A and B are shown apart, each in its own frame.
Chain A
């Protein structure tokens, strides 16, 4: 039979009444708290008994302290004199228990209690919550920028798309905790000042943890559904690495505490190690990803062969592609390199295709086309706009390349556009067309002006590809 156990506890730092009640239930079941923590709390087996617990806060304490401060020891003495036994401490939180049936409460002045909790929260939880809100806002702002920069790529890439709800949930949970806390503090302060009563805290930390778990599920989804192996490798190693760093840093902090290092030394060493390890992880990971991509083992679709032309090595791919040059012209050339790249999410799929001759046969035409498959019809207009404005970049309007409606191929698609480069009022046509059907948009880049038959053939294939 195990004498210690670790349990996932979902309490807000300031939820002293919830913690007290829970510890009382645990003692009745025969478990005494040994060490609380961010998530896992350690208990040791005791004879089941009825105990009262009290949680109090010591704002000047720190999680980097080697032991209880002098002030904390004085408080422990007062508590012992009042019949309360010291149980454990965790950062600013101190926990006491007593077997007395009707003990004098640890806190008997509501205003002092509210002020003490607030002072501890200002040092313990509130900075972390504010940092997380700022980080989530930055990340969401970055996602918005990515969305505006390349809407199609954003909507088709799971690692971008699923991180939006993940960050939204992280923002929600931290704002919720902050609002919940400040509302309680305002009410509790007013009540303590006017009636002298203490309003107990009733946190819904379980709700916060459920939302955070959902956020993690979205992160996992972003990771698992990411078709790009390089990105998947980078994200997976990053998460595992960060978890390991968290464990190492925590064990360094504990070791320094055991070695009686001062609060300042412990905090500095822990912080330096944390920053150094994070930077080392980032650097190693970037290098490993680049090496992996260069060597090919991280490429989703490594080349099947290579050849050398004028001292350069060229990759050759033999991917299956729906529309080939041979569908449009008669040719005996058979040294093609055909490549397919697919990015797909629940909202849309973005597929890029190319067919190129070898470098020693550049008289042969090449062919490039992209297909956007829109799975949610509400996104059609947005995607069409994005494709039509694909080459605008930041050019001024008088030099901005545009897609203009093309009437020369009736019936080839629901809508046909042709690409023009612009120089003031002078428009120069290119052999690049945008074909739109319900739920599908294709852009095709011919090598030379296509005949109507070639465009109709391409449209027919791309419509169902």
Chain B
């Protein structure tokens, strides 16, 4: 079934929005995500550009500064809500996992 855009966030979307809690430019985001996730998540430059454009179009981030070709962005309320929704969704997943699997601590005795 087709997924509604940004209803759930991919890892790349999640980390981009997370980085934009404070003002960042594209290249900063790439570096920050690598650092934040200890290299587990890498955002390719093509993906980064396209996601930033999509977030801008849907009002989830806003352009804050333009210095030549360097553009900086900041998350908006809509973006914050999407991030929070995703966080809650992940918590629900984690909670269900914890409740239902021995590895998560569930009592199957």
**Chain A residues close to B by CB (< 8 Å):** 54, 56, 70-71, 73-75, 77-79, 81-82, 84, 104-109, 111-113, 115-116, 189, 193, 196
The residue in chain A whose Cβ has the minimal distance to the Cβ of B45 is A78
Interface check B30, CB cutoff 8 A: yes
- Are A105 and B44 interface neighbours, CB within 8 A? yes
User: Which of A71, A106, A109, A193 neighbours the largest number of chain B CB atoms within 10 Å of its CB?
Assistant: A109
- Are B69 and A81 interface neighbours, CB within 8 A? no
Taken together as a complex, chains A and B put the C-alpha atoms of A401 and B2 apart, in Å, by 64
Given contacts A81-B26, A104-B44, A193-B3, 4 further A-B contacts (CB under 8 A): A77-B69, A108-B42, A109-B12, A116-B46
Interface string of B1-23 (1 = CB under 8 A from A): 01100000010110000000000
Taken together as a complex, chains A and B put the C-alpha atoms of A111 and B7 apart, in Å, by 13
- Are B45 and A84 interface neighbours, CB within 8 A? yes
- Are B30 and A82 interface neighbours, CB within 8 A? yes
Task: State which of B2, B3, B26 has its C-beta within 8 Å of the C-beta of A78.
Answer: B26
Residues from chain B with Cβ under 8 Å of A108 in the complex: 12, 42-44, 47
- Are B71 and A74 interface neighbours, CB within 8 A? yes
- Are B46 and A75 interface neighbours, CB within 8 A? yes
- Are A109 and B10 interface neighbours, CB within 8 A? yes
- Are A73 and B69 interface neighbours, CB within 8 A? yes
- Are A112 and B27 interface neighbours, CB within 8 A? no
Segment from B48-56, B79-87, B90-98 that makes contact with A: B48-56
Task: State which of B12, B44, B70 has its C-beta within 8 Å of the C-beta of A106.
Answer: B44
- The answer to whether residues A106 and B45 also contact, given A78-B30, A193-B3, A196-B10 and a CB cut-off of 8 A, is yes
Taken together as a complex, chains A and B put the C-alpha atoms of A105 and B48 apart, in Å, by 11
Can you identify 16 A-B contacts, CB atoms within 8 angstroms? A70-B69, A77-B27, A77-B70, A81-B30, A81-B31, A104-B43, A105-B42, A107-B46, A107-B47, A108-B44, A108-B47, A112-B54, A113-B46, A113-B47, A115-B50, A193-B2
With both chains docked as a complex, state the minimum distance between the C-beta of B6 and any C-beta of chain A, in angstroms. 11
Residues from chain B with Cβ under 8 Å of A104 in the complex: 30, 42-45
Task: State which of A54, A78, A116 has its C-beta within 8 Å of the C-beta of B27.
Answer: A78
The residue in chain A whose Cβ has the minimal distance to the Cβ of B42 is A104
Residues from chain A with Cβ under 8 Å of B69 in the complex: 70, 73-74, 77
**Chain B residues close to A by CB (< 8 Å):** 2-3, 10, 12-13, 26-27, 30-31, 42-51, 53-54, 69-71
Task: State which of A75, A105, A189 has its C-beta within 8 Å of the C-beta of B49.
Answer: A75
Main SS class of interface, B? helix
With both chains docked as a complex, state the minimum distance between the C-beta of B86 and any C-beta of chain A, in angstroms. 14
The residue in chain A whose Cβ has the minimal distance to the Cβ of B16 is A109
- Are B48 and A78 interface neighbours, CB within 8 A? yes
Task: State which of A70, A71, A75, A116 has its C-beta within 8 Å of the C-beta of B45.
Answer: A75
Residues from chain A with Cβ under 8 Å of B3 in the complex: 111, 193
- Are B30 and A116 interface neighbours, CB within 8 A? no
- Are B45 and A79 interface neighbours, CB within 8 A? yes
- Are B12 and A74 interface neighbours, CB within 8 A? no
The residue in chain A whose Cβ has the minimal distance to the Cβ of B26 is A78
Taken together as a complex, chains A and B put the C-alpha atoms of A107 and B50 apart, in Å, by 10
Residues from chain A with Cβ under 8 Å of B10 in the complex: 109, 111-112, 196
With both chains docked as a complex, state the minimum distance between the C-beta of B108 and any C-beta of chain A, in angstroms. 29
Taken together as a complex, chains A and B put the C-alpha atoms of A71 and B45 apart, in Å, by 12
- Are A81 and B51 interface neighbours, CB within 8 A? no
Residues from chain A with Cβ under 8 Å of B54 in the complex: 112
- Are B42 and A112 interface neighbours, CB within 8 A? no
The residue in chain B whose Cβ has the minimal distance to the Cβ of A110 is B10
Residues from chain A with Cβ under 8 Å of B49 in the complex: 71, 74-75, 78
With both chains docked as a complex, state the minimum distance between the C-beta of A115 and any C-beta of chain B, in angstroms. 8
With both chains docked as a complex, state the minimum distance between the C-beta of A35 and any C-beta of chain B, in angstroms. 21
- Are B45 and A112 interface neighbours, CB within 8 A? no
Q: What are the 10 A-B residue pairs with the smallest beta carbon separation, nearest first? A: A78-B45, A108-B44, A106-B46, A81-B27, A56-B46, A109-B47, A79-B45, A104-B42, A75-B49, A109-B12
Taken together as a complex, chains A and B put the C-alpha atoms of A112 and B46 apart, in Å, by 9
Residues from chain A with Cβ under 8 Å of B53 in the complex: 71
Residues from chain B with Cβ under 8 Å of A107 in the complex: 44, 46-47
With both chains docked as a complex, state the minimum distance between the C-beta of B70 and any C-beta of chain A, in angstroms. 8
Taken together as a complex, chains A and B put the C-alpha atoms of A106 and B46 apart, in Å, by 5
With both chains docked as a complex, state the minimum distance between the C-beta of A311 and any C-beta of chain B, in angstroms. 78
Residues from chain B with Cβ under 8 Å of A70 in the complex: 69
Taken together as a complex, chains A and B put the C-alpha atoms of A82 and B46 apart, in Å, by 10
The residue in chain A whose Cβ has the minimal distance to the Cβ of B70 is A77
Residues from chain A with Cβ under 8 Å of B46 in the complex: 54, 56, 75, 78-79, 106-107, 113, 116
The residue in chain A whose Cβ has the minimal distance to the Cβ of B71 is A74
Taken together as a complex, chains A and B put the C-alpha atoms of A105 and B51 apart, in Å, by 15
Taken together as a complex, chains A and B put the C-alpha atoms of A104 and B45 apart, in Å, by 8
The residue in chain B whose Cβ has the minimal distance to the Cβ of A59 is B50
- Are B47 and A112 interface neighbours, CB within 8 A? yes
Residues from chain B with Cβ under 8 Å of A111 in the complex: 3, 10
With both chains docked as a complex, state the minimum distance between the C-beta of A194 and any C-beta of chain B, in angstroms. 9
Taken together as a complex, chains A and B put the C-alpha atoms of A112 and B54 apart, in Å, by 9
Residues from chain B with Cβ under 8 Å of A196 in the complex: 10
- Are A112 and B30 interface neighbours, CB within 8 A? no
